Each structure stands twice: as C-alpha cells, then as structure tokens.
Chains A and B, each alone.
Chain A
Amino acid sequence: MKAYETYLLDRAKVEGNHQLATYRKLGGYKGLEKVLKGGLTPAQVVDEMKKSGLRGRGGAGFSTGMKWSFMPDIAKDPRTRYLAINADESEPGTCKDRVLMEKDPHGLVEGSLIAAYAIRASAVYIYVRGEYRLPHDRVLAAVQEARAANLVGKNILGSDFSCEVYLHKGAGAYICGEETGLMESLEGKRGHPRQKPPFPAQSGLWNSPTTVNNVETVFNAPFIIERGSAWHAAIGTQNSKGNFLVGISGHVNRPGVYELPFGVTAQEILEEKAGGVWKGRKLKAWFPVGSSCSLLKGSDIDVVLDHDSLRARGSSLGTAAMVMMDDHTSMARVMEVIARFYEHESCGQCSQCREGTQWLSQIFHRIAHGHGQEDDVATLEALAKGMAPGKTICALSDAAAIPTLSAVKLFKDELIECIRQKRDPLAQPAPKYATVGAH
C-alpha cells in the first residue's frame, strides 16, 4: 500500500482529545471559525461540499453537498429546519462512529455545526444509540464545553449564527438507524420508518425541513472547509473522494477501525492493516460493507474499496464494515445469524418484511440445524425476491433479501449439502446453556 495522508483519526490517537483544550490545541474548531469569521455563506459551504466529492458514510453513499442543497430555499420557506445526526450505528460489523464519538467528540460537534450552518438549521439532534453510553457521555460533555466557549448556542463566535445541539438516546432498535425511523424515534414514537416522499428535506422532524447525516459524514466537513474542496477531491478515486473509515472484523488477526483513502484494495486492508486471516487460514467469504449487502467470495478480495468498484461486483460501499470469514466457517450458520438479526430488527409494519424476515430466519435455522428440506434453497430465493427491491416502506426488507440472494447464489452447493446430509458438516460444536423465551 502506498503511503497516504491521514486526518480522520489523527486527533483520536491523542490522549485527552475529547476535551476542548486539547482539541483546540490540535487545530480544532478552525473549520467552524473559517466559516463564521471568514464570512462564508451557507451556499458557499454547500458548494464546497459538493466540489469536495464527499459522499455520505451512513450506507447510501449519496453526495453530501447535494443532500444539503435539497433543503428548501429559506426565502420561500421560513420554517424552522433541523439537522439530525445519525449516531445510531448498528449495522453489523460497523463500529467506526463510536471511535469518533469517544475519542474525538468535538470533531463531531464542529462538523455538525458546519452542516447546520450550511442548511440553516437552528438545532442539531444527535441521535446516539442507547447502548453507546461512553460515546454519548463524551459527546454530551463536548457540547457542554462548546456551549460554555460560545461554540454552541446563541451567536456562535460572535456571529449571527445561533444553533443548539441536543443529544437524544435510542433504545436498541436497529431500524432507528434508517433516517425516517430515526425521526419517528426522535419524536418519541415507535421507530416506524415513514413512506417517502415526502423526503426529510421537505418534511422531516416535526414536519419541518430536515437533513439527516451520519457521524462520519459531518465529521469530514471541518477538514474540507479548512483545507479546501480541491484538497479533498484530490484524494481517492473518480467517484469516491477522501479518506474513509473501515471497520474490519471477524476472522482476522488485527480487527480494528482503520483510516484509508478510497482506492486501496480490500486485500491491502486485510493483509496490511488487519494482519491477514487468522490462524493461517484462507478467506472463504466476506461481507464487504456490513451485513445488508451481498456476500463476496474470498477470491473477490482484490476488489478496490470504493463505490464504483463494489457496485461492479454486485455489492455497495455501505458503512465500509468488512466482516471476514475463514474457510472453516459454515455459511449456513452465518446466514442463520444474519437472518435472525433481520427478523429481530424488522419494525413489523410491512407484510413482506415482517413475515419474510421471520420466514428466512426459520429456513436458515432449519438448514443450519440439520432440518433443511429439499425445496428450501428455491424457497429462500423466491422469498428474497418477493421482499425486494423497493417493495416496502424502507430498505430493511431489501437488506435481509440481498445477503440471502448472494448466499443462495454463491454458496448454494454448501447449503444443499447441509440439507442432503441432514447436518451442517462445518458446524462448530455448540456450547450448552439453558434458554428461556424465544430463540
């Protein structure tokens, strides 16, 4: 791997950076100062963001500048507008935003303020998943410090810009990481995703124009403002700009969260960052980007990690969470775990998703436990096709269907073998423990 410039995790490595004094010493809040004291207009900030080529890091990979520009013209639509920060990180394999919140919370606050300024939001709600207690507390402390330093609240840094930052806690529902589910949850309701349109920019939180951005996305904003869009646009590949955080977990020697420029291959990350597959084994399969994407075979490890290259292999960049599986792994077991997850997390609104996720889970469970039936693989495929694409209110149904379809395609023989033998030849010995309630 070529040497490359880092910036996303640099401060995080410094002890005490979660406190304002250290953060400022390391150059913190320079981006916000440049915006507010340098007289940048919101439109100029949006423009910088567009030119930088930054794409959302929450999964969909949409242009951040474009998203901000979807907010209605303030002259024509004077409604209060909101920025919601999606810190409900819960895509399996994903643990990058947590690092930023724990180790560099002011970076998130600063990024949020710049985003809020660009979209003329008067309040930011940071929706932190309920289990992230330390990250929540760190960000909350950062907001309080920032408020005391006139970096949050009225007339920030003496400018006309006023903006409040509030923290909100989730409570363990994966679906609240979906932007409209998140908004429902922020409003104190069940986290049922909303039918789009209307899109959040037209009618989001409390029916007001709202932008929802991922933590890592806005975290990039201060760097881009400070160093310029051209600097950012020079890093990466044609349609994927800058550095990004990759989480790598599973069967590797050094799992972790690493900062990389777009354009490196998955193999480079696996070998040079994560120290290769553990126990000297071979890579059998991997989720390139969280569980809501197509599985890839070990041989696909040469893929370049960026939006276009992954799309070309039938996957997507998602949250850039690589989950690696060695050649001792049972794919029936992997899919049992994945399908169980989606069954557990379906909000239950849409028929296809509520019933389909359960159905997939039941079938994979049976296959993995030696009760597979001859038509199971065909049924899995038919069900997954009935659940996606775009047949439901949100994408959770798709998220369950996509890995299913890839497993059926790539590992059909292995699944059929489990069914034929009435046992999973690759099953790990199951430790015994008593259970109450549902599986």
Chain B
Amino acid sequence: MALPKKLTDEFDELVKNYPERRAALIVALHRCQEELGGWISPQTMEDLGAYFGLEPVEIFGVASFYPMFNLRPVGKHVVSVCHNISCDLRGAQDIIAKACEVTGAPLGGTSKDGRWTVRHVECQGACANAPMIDLDGVYHEDLTPEKVAKILGAVR
C-alpha cells in the first residue's frame, strides 16, 4: 500500500519548505492522522518511511514521542480534557467525569459504540478560560459540567 496521491502531492510541496525532507515528517504525520482514520497505523508508518527514505522504526520513534499522535484507533470523536493546574483549580475533574458520563467512554479509552474517545491532556494554553475541552480539534472554554453535556450532546 502507499499513501494516497492527494497526500503525497501535498507532501511534495511541503518538503520544499525545508532544506531537508524529513523536517516535514511531523506535519505529515498530522495530515495522515487527519486523513487516514484518526490514527497512525503501522501501514501509515511504513508508507511514511518509504516516502521520507527512513526506516519505519524511525517513524515509529518520532510518532510515539508526540502525545497528539494516536498509535491506536480512536473513536469517531475525540474529547481531550485539560487537567493541568489552571483547569484543575476550576473543576477539570468534574469536566472529565461529565465527559465520560455523557459519552460512555472511560477516561483514556473509547466508548463501546466506537463513537467517543475521552482523554485528559496537559496544559492546552486556555488557562484564562479554564476549564476547557478540545473536541475534535476545536476548543470549548469557560466550561461547567452542564455546558459540557450540552456541547457533547449536540454532536451528531
């Protein structure tokens, strides 16, 4: 298997931004995760290795270093709840509990229906609007458990 042409075309442009091809790897991993099912599969790592002229194990080393890359499948929607200090002081634990309750997913896992993954993350830079969640890449801030229920409830 190989990467879809759409992505390799993109990467062909992307690598021009850098004096060395592999510099584009992290951005490429993001794009693969976005386009190829929400996670970085072993096949994706092999394909990226072939694209960048690196061994798959090197891709794996890089991908596993960065918390944003999922090396296992995740739910259709990913809820990341910040549990660092500013959010913790303003009730992040209640937000986590509510997110888990509404979605049926355990913290750090995926709901049985595969729709939801809930996880905690470290500081997201939304401290002045704590607590917060990142739902599929979009920040929701100044939350209460009630607001969380509403936001997640509105997701189809």
A residues at B contact (CB < 8 Å): 80, 89-95, 97-98, 129-134, 164, 166, 168-174, 185-191, 206, 247-251, 255-257, 287, 291, 321, 323, 325, 329, 333-334, 337-338, 341, 344-345, 347, 428, 430-438
Contacts and interface: CB of A to CB of B under 8 A. Distances in A.
B85 A95 contact: no
Interface in B1-53: 17-20, 22-27, 29-30, 52
A371 B89 CA distance: 22
B100 A433 contact: yes
Contacts of B130: 249-250, 255
A171 B26 contact: yes
Contacts of A321: 127
B65 A131 contact: no
A96 to B, nearest CB: 9
B19 to A, nearest CB: 5
A435 B86 CA distance: 22
A436 B108 contact: yes
A131 B128 CA distance: 16
Contacts of A92: 84-86, 122-123, 127
A172 B80 CA distance: 12
A310 B83 CA distance: 27
A188 B85 contact: no
Given A80-B19, A92-B86, A435-B106, A129 B125 contact: yes
A190 B27 contact: no
26 contacts: A94-B123, A94-B127, A95-B127, A131-B124, A164-B17, A166-B17, A166-B18, A171-B29, A172-B121, A187-B20, A189-B62, A250-B85, A250-B86, A291-B85, A323-B85, A334-B85, A334-B89, A344-B122, A430-B93, A433-B97, A434-B109, A435-B107, A436-B106, A436-B108, A436-B109, A437-B108
B84 A341 contact: yes
B68 interface: yes
A164 B24 CA distance: 16
Interface string B82-103: 0111101110011011001100
A205 B143 CA distance: 40
Contacts of A325: 89
A323 B84 CA distance: 11
A95 B128 contact: yes
Band of interface residues on B? 35 or more
Interface of B: 17-20, 22-27, 29-30, 52, 61-62, 65-69, 80, 83-86, 88-90, 93-94, 96-97, 100-101, 106-109, 121-130, 134, 137-139
Contacts of B61: 190
A435 B100 CA distance: 9
Contacts of B109: 434-437
Nearest to B123: A92
A133 B83 contact: no
Given A92-B123, A95-B126, A431-B97, A131 B68 contact: yes
A189 to B, nearest CB: 6
A190 B62 contact: yes
B107 A90 contact: no
A256 B106 contact: no
Among A171, A206, A248, max chain B CB count under 10 A is at A171
B7 to A, nearest CB: 15
A171 B121 CA distance: 12
Nearest 10 CB-CB pairings of A with B: A171-B66, A431-B97, A188-B25, A172-B68, A434-B106, A172-B67, A249-B127, A249-B86, A436-B109, A188-B22
Contact of B123 (A90, A431, A433): A90
Given A250-B89, A433-B106, A433-B107, A90 B24 contact: no
A92 B89 CA distance: 12
Contacts of A249: 86, 89-90, 127-128, 130
Contacts of A256: 128
Contacts of A133: 137-138
Contacts of A94: 123, 125, 127
Contacts of A134: 139
A294 to B, nearest CB: 15
Contact of B23 (A93, A95, A187): A187
B85 A93 contact: yes
Contact of A431 (B65, B86, B88, B94): B94
B128 A247 contact: yes
A338 B84 CA distance: 7
Given A291-B85, A431-B94, 11 more contacts: A90-B123, A92-B127, A168-B27, A170-B68, A172-B68, A187-B22, A323-B89, A337-B88, A431-B97, A433-B107, A438-B108
A214 B67 CA distance: 22
B125 A345 contact: no
